[in-house]
Amino acid sequence: MMRIGIDVGGTNTDAVVMDGTKVLAGVKEATTPDVMSGVVSALKSVLAASGLKPEAIDVVMIGTTHFTNAVVQRRDLAQTAAVRLGLPATASLPPMVDWPEDLRSAIGNHAYLAHGGHEFDGRVISPLDEAELIGIAADIKAKGIRSVAVTSVFSPVNTEFEAQAGAIFEKALPGAHVTLSSDIGRIGLLERENAAVMNACLRDLSKLVIDAFRDALDACGVKARFFLTQNDGTLMDAAYAERFPVLTFASGPTNSIRGAAFLSGVAEAIVVDIGGTTSDVGALHKGFPRQATVAVEVGGVRTNFRMPDVFSFGLGGGSLVVDGPGGIKVGPTSVGYKLTKEALVFGGETLTTTDIVVAAGRAYLGDHKRVANLDKSLIVRTEAKIADMLETAVERSRLSPEPLPVIVVGGGSILVHDRIAGLEIVKPHHFAVANAVGAAIAQVSGEVDRVYSLTSLSRADAIGDAQQKATAVAVAAGARAETIEVVDVEDVPLAYLPGNATRVRVKVVGDLHVA
């Protein structure tokens, strides 16, 4: 099977063509403000470089940081109503209470508390009040809000109230996007609600972005199946991704760490992915990103997604270099995708880290004559500053004093030319497009989440049954049965229900079936 992996970052859009496990070609193009033209040009270049016709491609996997960046930068976010069902419970903490003020304002801080919700054992906290919800809908309509997130207490145990409230909002607000928290998260009200609200505020953007991807594939004549990568490194089809953009969060770091492992053949390492604006540092353990066990924040908002433990900081190939009274300052401001216009070596007027590296004679990009007269001390001090930033980040991700290698990937890898923190550096072939490789090798998952009665069934049997069903889902979604691995098992007993009911959730992943 011929596949294309694309990674759309804030600065660059990378693409690779892979035949099975072999990288045939890899390219890097600037990300464009409209997303689509950058993807089109990356697709065209990578097809040309591989010598393949568009019809030869069977499947396209796209990883995008677009939605994460929208939240982090507070842009293109829709005004969103966060409706919680649970009164009189939960009144002490309204929706979005633990959000940074600027993000809450960016989506309008429209929080509504309504009656509803279930107790842990399935009883009703208070009945759903249709008139109350119709009143809220009228208020939402009057404010011109078109995105709604509905979160009901204990909806992972009983989805009924969220579904009913969702239907009321869809009827009262034709064309509005309604996100139900039970479709996204697990038990943990604030974290699940946060994820649902973030998803809702991204729905307008997700339609635009997924349409742009679809149009880009059409424009290049690629008629292949088309997937997006999720935060755990697995695939979801485009239609699903449009409804659940929040599931793409952190897929970028996951893809680059998985790609780095694949390209280097190293299973235990620190991975440094240097982009145009930021660098991500994570740990590779047994070929997978080490997961964070504490609640992961995205754009300052706490979620309960399982995400790679990645440390991001403002160092990239486009980072601004400023020599001020306090010494050299590198980043976090970056020229981003305008690197090839604004950096000195590309004829621009802005001093960037790329200019420093070219001036030091460590990379050959643009016109090196334009940086020939840079002050030697400025070059030395900036390189020392960059080395210092990298060392701090790598030290933070080290688990032990063991001398693990550091795999350096990403377009900004030219900033690294020496050991980091005394550790050996590995720059694998195709290092610049490791994230696109990570997208291309993304796996398929299957998840089952259901309630078992443990009167006639043991816990192990229930988990075994759920595992079998999850495997069937993954295989139906295109996974190769013999590659299936269980990645997540969770069983939550639902006390005081007849029959010792237990909710079992199992997730499996496998490789996409390669014909």
Partner 1 sequence: MSPRGYVLEESDLLPLSLGAALLGTGGGGNPYVGMLRARELLRKGASVEILPLEAVHDDDVIGSVGGIGAPVVSVEKIKQGQECLRALRGVEEAMNVRVSALISAEVGGSNSIEPILTAAYAGLPVVDGDGMGRAFPEIQMSTFFIYGLDPSPGAIADDKGNVVVFKKVVDMFWLERFARHIAVDMGAAAGFATAPMKGAYVKRVAVPGTLTQALEIGGTILDARARRHNVVERLLAKTGATLFFTGKVADVRRELRGGFAMGEAMLTGVGDHAGSQARVAIQNENLVLWVDGTPAVMVPDLIMNLELETGEPITTEMLRYGQQLAVIGIPAHDLIKTPEALKIVGPAAFGYPELTFAPLGAPSDVRASAEGC
> Which residues contribute to the site for partner 1 (CB under 8 A)?
86, 88-93, 97-98, 117, 119-120, 123, 125-126, 153-154, 187-190, 291, 293-294, 395-396, 399, 459, 489-496, 500, 502
Q: Which is nearer to partner 1, 97 or 476 (CB)?
A: 97
Q: Is the distance from CB of 280 to CB of 289 less than 8 angstroms?
A: no
Contact residues for 341 (Cβ-Cβ < 8 A; gap 6+): 335, 347, 348
Q: Which is nearer to partner 1, 92 or 373 (CB)?
A: 92
Q: Which is nearer to partner 1, 234 or 435 (CB)?
A: 234
Three-state SS sequence of 84-98:
EEEECCCCCCCCCCC
Sign of CA dihedral 129, 131, 137, 139: negative
Measured between alpha carbons, how far apart are the two ends of the chain, in Å? 5
Separation of alpha carbons 251 and 64, rounded Å: 7
Separation of alpha carbons 432 and 263, rounded Å: 11
Q: Which is nearer to partner 1, 122 or 314 (CB)?
A: 122
Q: Which is nearer to partner 1, 153 or 423 (CB)?
A: 153
Beta bridge partners of 501: 453
Q: Is the distance from CB of 180 to CB of 222 less than 8 angstroms?
A: no
User: Residue 497 is which amino acid?
Assistant: L
Separation of alpha carbons 283 and 269, rounded Å: 6
Q: Which is nearer to partner 1, 88 or 221 (CB)?
A: 88
Three-state SS sequence of 273-333:
EECCCCEEEEEEECCEECECCCCEEECCEEECCCCECEEEECCCCCEEEEEECCEEEEEEE
**Closest approach of partner 1 to the CB of residue 113, in Å:** 10
Sign of CA dihedral 172, 175, 180, 181: negative
Q: Which is nearer to partner 1, 91 or 138 (CB)?
A: 91
Q: Which is nearer to partner 1, 45 or 304 (CB)?
A: 304
**Closest approach of partner 1 to the CB of residue 173, in Å:** 27
Q: Is the distance from CB of 437 to CB of 259 less than 8 angstroms?
A: yes
Q: How far is CA 511 from the centre of its chain?
A: 20
Q: How far is CA 54 from the centre of its chain?
A: 27
**Left, alpha or beta for 265 (phi > 0: left; psi -120 to 50: alpha)?**
left
Helix (H) or strand (E) holding 407: strand 406-409
Closest among 272, 309, 283 to 412, alpha carbons compared: 272
